[in-house]
């Protein structure tokens, strides 16, 4: 099996083939590390994977056509808590819209942006009929939008910070159904905009959203879809239903729009009255994305290796006030039940630094991708 090409430091485009309109096409699997400067749009064809190492910086030279990375294949950019991967402008004085964004267009499955910073673009990340994993990323100072979900896109957006963008934090169009959990969507003109029969998951009666949706200039949620949107178990600009409702555009403002249902147990009449049962109840774990800072992994067992397992399992982990994983569950997997069980047991051995919210230790939940290479020890 041919090894992917590894590029370190500044990228000179010798390993790229020409494309239409001055674009560059990745010829085969590649790995980038260090600082990479792009002066043309980069195309990752279907069947090709680009991996970007933690701590790398990908810069785009500002041009009128607004450069992009167009992902038809697979992009895997997994940074660390202290070694984030940046997608940014190459200008010494960056401006919103200096480059177009990272576009996933009917891309191969398995793309991941984790612990990444996406800034000074036009659209940030643009998902067109694609569903990448966007985890613990920051989307800021993008001209139009932080995250766009178009044409039946359903990315998992978890633990992300989406703030300070020019128009919208997250936009959903044309039957898109992103899952948005444990994120902060704040300080945009519009927080989350929903159009054209799209229906994002923002929290339900069975599973809280755990998002902080607040301080957006016009509306925190702007629903022009006719569908009812569930948005329960989130944190908002105000702490009373009337204050929250003022920041939501739905059927009360437009009869053609669906209702945004944000009312959860926290706003029931009993809880407002101060029911003793609710006061004594242990608070539910919060999403990792709303903690004061992201916890560090301070202990984990050796990564599982099993020759019968090749693929990825996404595990949800519940963590107590001391940082110990107390429970795990499988969110998604392309492996059999036995391999998924190995992943669940592996995550049970993790330990984090304690999670704090508003200066107080709390229980929290997070998701952990576990990859199996298919190789024996």
Task: Please say whether the beta carbons of 113 and 137 come within 8 A.
Answer: yes
Domain ranges for the chain, please list them. Answer: 5-264, 286-373
Q: What CATH number has the domain spanning 286-373?
A: 3.30.2420
Please work out, in degrees rounded to the nearest 5, the angle formed at the alpha carbon of residue 26 by the alpha carbons of 7 and 17: 105
The structure tokens listed for 91 are: 């200008």
Q: Is 20 helix (H, G, I), strand (E, B) or coil?
A: helix
Mean pLDDT of the chain: 85
Averaged pLDDT, 85-96 = 94
pLDDT tens digits for 224-241?
A: 999 999 999 999 977 688
pLDDT bucket at 13, cuts 50 / 70 / 90? very low
pLDDT bucket at 21, cuts 50 / 70 / 90? low
Does residue 179 have a pLDDT over 60? yes
Measured on CA atoms in the order 93, 96, 102, 103, is the torsion positive or negative? negative
Residue among 167, 166, 35 at smallest CA distance from 88? 35
The structure tokens listed for 134 are: 């966007």
pLDDT at 335: 77
pLDDT bucket at 307, cuts 50 / 70 / 90? low
Does residue 3 have a pLDDT over 90? no
Task: Please say whether the beta carbons of 151 and 174 come within 8 A.
Answer: yes
pLDDT tens digits for 273-304?
A: 333 333 344 566 776 666 777 788 899 888 77
**Residues 51-85, buried b or exposed e (16+ Cβ, 10 A)?**
bbbbebbbbbebeeebbbbbbbbbbbbbbeeeebb
pLDDT tens digits for 26-78?
A: 999 999 999 999 999 999 999 999 999 999 999 999 987 789 999 999 999 99
């Amino acid at each position: 099996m041919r090894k992917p090409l590894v590029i370190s430091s500044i990228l000179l485009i010798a390993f790229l083939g020409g494309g239409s309109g001055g674009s560059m096409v990745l010829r085969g699997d590649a790995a980038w590390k260090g600082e990479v400067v792009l002066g043309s749009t980069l195309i990752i064809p279907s069947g090709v994977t680009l991996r970007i190492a933690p701590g790398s910086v990908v810069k785009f030279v500002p041009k009128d056509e607004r450069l992009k990375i167009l992902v038809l294949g697979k992009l895997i950019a997994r940074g660390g808590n202290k070694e984030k991967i940046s997608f940014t402008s190459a200008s010494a004085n960056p401006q919103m819209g200096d480059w177009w964004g990272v576009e996933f267009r009917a891309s191969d499955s398995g793309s991941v942006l984790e612990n990444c910073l996406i800034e000074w673009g036009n659209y940030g990340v643009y998902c067109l009929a694609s569903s990448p994993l966007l985890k613990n990323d920051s989307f800021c100072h993008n001209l139009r939008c932080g995250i766009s979900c178009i044409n039946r896109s359903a990315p998992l957006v978890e633990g992300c910070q989406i703030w300070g963008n020019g128009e919208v934090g997250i936009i959903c169009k044309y039957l898109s159904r992103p899952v948005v959990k444990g994120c902060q969507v704040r300080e945009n003109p519009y927080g989350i905009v929903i159009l054209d029969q799209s229906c994002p998951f923002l929290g339900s009666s069975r599973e809280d959203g755990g998002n902080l949706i607040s301080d957006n200039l016009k509306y925190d949620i702007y629903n022009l879809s006719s569908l009812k949107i569930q948005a329960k178990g989130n944190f908002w600009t105000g702490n009373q239903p009337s204050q929250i409702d003022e920041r939501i555009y739905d059927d009360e403002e437009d009869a053609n729009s669906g209702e945004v249902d944000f009312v959860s147990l926290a706003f029931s009449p009993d809880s407002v009255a101060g029911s003793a049962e609710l006061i004594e109840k242990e608070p539910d774990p919060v999403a990792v994305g709303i903690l004061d800072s992201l916890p560090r992994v301070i202990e984990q067992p050796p990564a599982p290796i099993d020759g019968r397992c090749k693929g990825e399992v996404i595990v949800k982990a519940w963590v107590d006030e001391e940082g110990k994983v107390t429970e795990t569950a499988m969110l998604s997997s392309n492996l059999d039940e036995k391999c998924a069980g190995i992943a669940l047991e592996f995550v049970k051995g993790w330990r984090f630094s304690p999670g704090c919210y508003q200066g107080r230790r709390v229980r929290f939940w997070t998701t952990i991708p576990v990859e199996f290479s298919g190789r024996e020890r």
